[in-house]
């Protein structure tokens, strides 16, 4: 071992963090090299000199007082329930998932019928410039042979790369849609690949339009429907929805229905002094997102043909023009699916502010972290994840996202979009 190798390990050696073999090699070199031995002495001296300035005893006492005051203010706040009536909350949670599910089911039926009536009808060669909420794109789901082949080839390629991956709970490694997740990304919806030309931008349930609707119908109808533009956090949406359905009272295992643990962004008290509600501080009002131009509001719902399109989405509203406007949550998914992560982040913050129910917060924070990661704002994403971990210590969705995170950060898992 030469000086270069030794010095590369000297810091870890100094910390006692080297394995036995490495340690022996470093020690052997140190016995014969005065330069490296001197460097080690320098490290010891540096560490001894490293310190954080001590503010003094008065300060330490003031910490307790300051914390006590802030905690007192926190406790004095009225604990406004997010949704006063538990039944209403339960209904809202049901609607939140049922409506997209019904929409997707109707979409699948429409696609299957369309295929049955017009076998071999061509897939549009170019997408509409912007998604229009009240217009169903012309035959987006028609599987052209080329698209189908490309999609299958892409799937096969990814499948071969992904053979050794273990399917995450609740979802097989090769999904029921036949779309194989990206490497290390069991929850990522299929890439648009070449089929993206047939996709309207930001159309949820767009993977249905990848020529695989028939395979989805019997097994996953309604479950995957809002999935286009979604990622890991959508799975958590579903998981939390399922748990919410089984516990209609809305009580959460992580956070009692009343009490301080409701936490950082719980109540409706949006006082700017809420310190750790920084995640919400950049929040735009949900209404801000209803009038955005160039969006595909209410994507999942707007894809619905006929009357289903008029289904009152749990979190969507209809504006005076009769056009369905997306809730911030839907807006976030829609924007993210088009790679507009910054705008999606703003919408997601609004979504978090609008829905403080624990399931929505849990999945929403994970999605927000992902949006930040995709903008390479890793430290902020760290903070959001820590927030989620703090509030939902045993969150499976947080854990899963953390496993997937390095690949998200490195861009190896692209967000499904029309990119």
Partner 1 sequence: MEADLGEERDERLAARAAGGDRRAFDALVTRHRRAVYRLCWSATGNHADADDAAQETFLRVFRALPAYDPDRPFGPWLRKIAWNCGLSVRRDRQAGVPKVSGEELPDPVDPAEGPEATASGNEEKRRVAAAMADLPAELRAVLVLRAVEGLSYAEIAEAAGIPAGTVMSRLSRARERLLAALGARARGGA
Contacting positions for partner 1 (CB under 8 A): 8, 10-12, 15, 17, 39, 42-43, 45-56, 59-60, 63-64, 66-68, 70-71, 74, 254-256, 259-264, 275-276, 278, 379-380, 382-383, 385-387, 389-394
Q: Which is nearer to partner 1, 76 or 117 (CB)?
A: 76
In whole angstroms, how close is the CB of 320 to partner 1 at the nearest point? Answer: 39
| Residues 6+ away with beta carbon under 8 Å from 154 | 190, 191, 193, 194
Separation CA 347–CA 284 (nearest Å): 7
For partner 1, give the closer residue by CB, 58 or 306.
Answer: 58
DSSP 8-state class, residue 375:
T
Closest distance to partner 1 from the beta carbon of 253 (Å): 9
Q: Closest approach of Cβ 13 to partner 1, in Å?
A: 10
Three-state secondary structure call for residue 313: coil
Measure CA 287 to chain center: 22
Please, are residues 383 and 282 in contact by the beta-carbon 8 Å criterion?
Answer: no
| Whether 410 contacts 369, CB under 8 Å | no
Place of tokens 């189908």: 148
Helix (H), strand (E) at residue 363: helix 358-374
Give min distance, CB of 386 to partner 1, in A.
Answer: 4
CB closer to partner 1 out of 330 and 362: 362
Residue closer to partner 1 by CB (options 71, 245) is 71
* Distances 169 to 118, 138, 144, 227, 358 between C-alpha atoms, Å: 38, 36, 33, 17, 21
Closest distance to partner 1 from the beta carbon of 71 (Å): 5
* Nearest CB to partner 1, comparing residues 47 and 294: 47
Q: For residues 288 and 382, which CB has a smaller minimum distance to partner 1 in the complex?
A: 382
**Minimum distance between the CB of residue 182 and partner 1, rounded to whole angstroms?**
22
Residue 318's DSSP bridge partners are 324
CB 332 within 8 A of CB 353: no
């Amino acid at each position: 071992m030469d000086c270069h190798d030794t010095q590369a390990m000297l810091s870890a050696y100094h910390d006692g963090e080297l394995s036995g073999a490495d340690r022996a090699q470093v020690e052997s070199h140190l016995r014969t090299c005065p330069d490296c031995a001197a460097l080690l002495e320098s490290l010891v001296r540096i560490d001894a000199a490293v310190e954080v300035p001590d503010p003094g005893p008065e300060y330490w006492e003031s910490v307790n007082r300051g914390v006590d005051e802030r905690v007192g203010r926190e406790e004095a706040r009225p604990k406004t329930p997010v949704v006063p009536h538990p039944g209403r909350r339960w209904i809202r949670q049901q609607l939140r998932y049922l409506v997209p599910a019904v929409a997707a089911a109707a979409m699948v039926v429409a696609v299957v019928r369309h295929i049955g009536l017009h076998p071999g009808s061509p897939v549009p060669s170019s997408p509409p410039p912007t998604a229009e909420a009240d217009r169903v794109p012309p035959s987006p789901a028609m599987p052209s042979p080329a698209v189908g082949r490309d999609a299958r080839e892409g799937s096969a390629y990814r499948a071969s790369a992904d053979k050794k991956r273990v399917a995450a709970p609740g979802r097989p490694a090769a999904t029921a849609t036949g779309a194989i997740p990206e490497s290390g990304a069991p929850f990522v919806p299929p890439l648009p690949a070449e089929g993206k030309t047939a996709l309207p931008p930001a159309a949820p349930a767009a993977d249905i339009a990848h020529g695989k609707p028939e395979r989805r119908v019997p097994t996953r109808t309604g479950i995957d429907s809002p999935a286009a533009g979604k990622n890991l956090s959508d799975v958590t949406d579903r998981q939390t929805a399922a748990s919410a359905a089984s516990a209609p009272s809305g009580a959460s295992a992580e956070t009692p229905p009343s009490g301080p643990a409701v936490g950082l962004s719980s109540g409706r008290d949006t006082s700017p002094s809420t310190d750790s509600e920084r995640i919400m501080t950049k929040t735009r009002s949900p209404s801000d997102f209803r009038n955005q131009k160039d969006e595909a509001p209410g994507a999942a719902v707007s894809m619905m043909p006929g009357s289903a399109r008029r289904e009152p989405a749990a979190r969507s509203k209809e504006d005076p023009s009769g056009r369905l406007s997306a809730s911030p949550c839907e807006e976030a998914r829609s924007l993210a699916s088009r790679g507009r992560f910054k705008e999606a982040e703003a919408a997601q913050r609004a979504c978090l502010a609008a829905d403080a129910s624990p399931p929505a917060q849990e999945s929403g924070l994970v999605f927000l972290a992902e949006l930040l990661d995709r903008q390479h704002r890793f430290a902020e994403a760290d903070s959001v994840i820590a927030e989620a971990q703090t509030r939902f210590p045993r969150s499976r969705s947080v854990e899963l996202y953390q496993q997937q995170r390095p690949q998200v950060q490195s861009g190896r898992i692209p967000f499904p979009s029309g990119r």
